[in-house]
């Protein structure tokens, strides 16, 4: 029964995000951006692109070409 407690602690440590990063949330946002046909831009979108969302909690932007 004690092994269950150890496994729980190990899983908790593996999935715990590092301070300052969104971890799982940022990964999901990047995946959602790519699924919508966009790309993650560090500062801003290019002139022929439109802003469709964000890629991370730190301010990266999700951009795609205008239709």
Whole-model pTM: value is 0.62
Give the Å distances, CA to CA, from 41 to 5, 18, 29, 50, 57: 42, 22, 13, 11, 13
- pLDDT band (50, 70, 90) for residue 45: very high
- pLDDT band (50, 70, 90) for residue 67: confident
| pLDDT for the residue 63 | 95
User: Does domain 22-67 match CATH 2.60.40.1180?
Assistant: no
Domain map of the chain by residue range? 22-67
Query: Considering the chain, what is the average pLDDT of its residues?
Result: 85
- Beta-ladder partners of 51: 63
Instruction: Report how far residue 52's alpha carbon sits from residue 63's, in angstroms, rounded to the nearest whole number.
Output: 6
For residues 61 and 51, the answer to whether their CB atoms sit within 8 Å is yes
């Amino acid at each position: 029964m004690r092994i269950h407690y150890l496994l729980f602690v190990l899983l908790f440590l593996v999935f715990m995000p590092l301070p300052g990063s969104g971890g799982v949330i940022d990964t999901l946002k990047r995946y959602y951006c790519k699924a919508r046909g966009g790309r993650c831009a560090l500062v801003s979108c290019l002139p022929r692109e439109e802003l469709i969302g964000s890629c991370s909690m730190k301010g990266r932007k999700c951009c795609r070409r205008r239709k």
